[in-house]
Structure 1
């Protein structure tokens, strides 16, 4: 590695500046420009912009033919108000980097600085800064973008920090590592009436009560085995905040979660059938829509071997805690390349992901970049 203490100090400062200025999924214009400027300064041979939205890819060419190895980080923050008192807390009301994507970007920036000083001997190293991870749309958009045909990686590697795991330790395993999930919106449409004559309308109240009672039971819960499923109510609204109106509209938001994509189809149909049956019983119309759709995440065995070879050089790792219930917009990359993600411990007592007081541990910049640099050296030398 060619990173110096001064590099790490500058990278920490860069990460904290990203933390101050978060942007939400699909809105990462300024963040992307910051990344582009860093890659230019770090001597990228080619920079592809506008990938699947605001995505950016920096390419470092070797001098001889070889494989294309892609590393991926995420650009977007979250629509959550940060509550911590850290000096570099978010300056944007209601938005914050509370998942660590600012740290993940900085790890790839550290790799870029190393590649600037020590180019691959063969093949290509590609650093992808993916948009819209948090809503599950970014990976699909990147893969569908014609500009991505210039990349066509043989291997794709990524990481995510993991609070609850000892600082700097790694969780890694072959096979399934993240659940599939999707957001489901159920609209129940009836007819409003005056609150003094509710019998003249068609209220969704009864249907809402039934669904709130019956839907959670459709998730089996339990161990993260192939039949695992979970249905979580995340939002409910009945009518308008007024005293003179008997409601004619209700909305229910759910998160469906399963270990596999195949099980997701089964659970989705069960919930849809229940919603439509209840709506019909109550003389309502049901409209169903989906968003934040995440495929399950599967680590390819060959890709895991390369990560473990890098980790074996002094970083403790095991399969402890895997697979995870949480979802991750990375699984689609495995369809066209051998891909794997590892999980980098953020500390046993560290604030959880998406918590309002979360902040990425700067100590992980060095650890994460060392793993990626070793992978590139092993595969492109």
Structure 2
């Protein structure tokens, strides 16, 4: 896999950084050890400015190029997941119940590698803003950083990010011009019935049957209320009720996820779900409340920026190892907020075979970190080239 020669020279350092980060996973916004390690490395590299404490533990570092020019933003997320690691690695998580199961340790390492190279060479005009973000998995840290003004404060004109992709060829890239990942919403249904003896169901108002009815009826939103060629997912992922075999409980709870691209489809889902919950509750003689939480918006690449970024990826990985129009998928990503604020693109970097994202046996492939760092570095140099002398 071709990489920038200088980045290849310190690839062993990148592996060491990544594996250290893997041992200290932290959640959401509460990432002081991770942020401290990042800041220490950036100071060693000699960045021109280091701004800490954004979105609690987020960081923006500035590297000045040669001469005047715009500011390009590069983002990496660094929070982990509440998962117990099951890899058996000698650098496994030291924080019980927390794990880098989505590769954010790798994302951070790739941006640190690019930072080291860019601070050494400065072969670009204008500035680069290195955005290290907490709370991608929960909390929408990208949105918080945008709300705290990083785009205007640092005059960022365009912004880019990478995510690793298990199961895709190691060191290969894919992206899409326009919509790439879906908006994600969460729904909660709280059911209040009347409990009773399992042998005397006529004396109860059974929330278990109501929960089953609501769960089944919700699936008709996709199959009967929605145009089949538009993307939509509605998944019930939890039902909790009851404790013993011979007692009808008095409460039940449903939870699930909704994935959309079109705000009109999202609105339809909300309206239909409310009608279904109300109607099913009435039919079973129970009370039910729907709490619908609107989450991250759809991740939509700027078409021109995505095409440009795919071209840069081709320089690093080879044109035959870049899928520039991969289509869209139903996962979600809070980088969407940054793409709403500025044009840019989000790409996936293949890491080969292995456990999937959010799996207790997942581990980032250190061999692709220099590829990602090279992509970030070349992106800056191609987006903001030095004037010819």
Question: What TM-score do you get using the length of structure 1 for normalisation?
Answer: 0.91
Distance 1:268 1:56, change over 3 A: same
Offset at residue 4 of structure 1 (A): 4.8
Is contact 2:7-2:113 (8 Å) kept? no
Instruction: Work out whether 1:359 is the aligned partner of 2:379.
Output: no
- Structure 2 match to 1:122: 125
Provide the rounded CA distance (Å) in 2 between the counterparts of 1:262 and 1:276.
21
Is contact 1:261-1:296 (8 Å) kept? no
Offset at residue 135 of structure 1 (A): 2.3
Instruction: Work out whether 1:335 is the aligned partner of 2:340.
Output: yes
Offset at residue 378 of structure 1 (A): 1.6
1:379 paired residue among 371, 380, 383: 383
Instruction: Work out whether 1:166 is the aligned partner of 2:169.
Output: yes
Provide the rounded CA distance (Å) in 2 between the counterparts of 1:292 and 1:93.
31
2:268 paired residue among 262, 266, 270: 266
- Structure 2 match to 1:322: 327
Offset at residue 322 of structure 1 (A): 2.5
Instruction: Work out whether 1:312 is the aligned partner of 2:317.
Output: no
Is contact 1:185-1:288 (8 Å) kept? yes
Provide the rounded CA distance (Å) in 1 between the counterparts of 2:229 and 2:257.
18
Deviates more, 1:366-375 or 1:310-319: 310-319
Deviates more, 1:302-311 or 1:92-101: 302-311
Question: What TM-score do you get using the length of structure 2 for normalisation?
Answer: 0.89
1:227 paired residue among 222, 230, 235: 230
User: For 1:269-320, what per-residue CA distance to the aligned partner results, in whole angstroms no more than 9, with x for missing partners?
Assistant: 2222211221233333322334581211111022123313312324221146
Offset at residue 62 of structure 1 (A): 3.0
- Structure 2 match to 1:346: 351
What residue ranges of structure 1 are gaps of 5+ in the alignment? none
Provide the rounded CA distance (Å) in 2 between the counterparts of 1:64 and 1:286.
62
Distance 1:158 1:225, change over 3 A: farther
Give the SS at the match of 1:89: coil
Taking only aligned residues, the RMSD between alpha carbons, in angstroms, comes to 2.4
Provide the rounded CA distance (Å) in 1 between the counterparts of 2:167 and 2:223.
25
What residue ranges of structure 2 are gaps of 5+ in the alignment? none
Alignment of 1:176-325 (within 5 A): 176-193=179-196, 201-220=204-223, 227-239=230-242, 241-242=243-244, 246-291=248-293, 293-315=295-317, 316-319=321-324, 321-325=326-330
Is contact 1:204-1:284 (8 Å) kept? yes
Is contact 2:76-2:104 (8 Å) kept? yes
Report the number of matched residues.
Answer: 377
Is contact 1:68-1:126 (8 Å) kept? yes
Provide the rounded CA distance (Å) in 1 between the counterparts of 2:156 and 2:229.
29
Is contact 1:20-1:89 (8 Å) kept? yes
Offset at residue 205 of structure 1 (A): 1.8
Provide the rounded CA distance (Å) in 1 between the counterparts of 2:172 and 2:142.
27
Distance 1:52 1:9, change over 3 A: same
Offset at residue 198 of structure 1 (A): 5.8
- Structure 2 match to 1:12: 15
Is contact 1:81-1:95 (8 Å) kept? yes
- Structure 2 match to 1:32: 35
Deviates more, 1:189-198 or 1:3-12: 189-198
Offset at residue 153 of structure 1 (A): 1.4
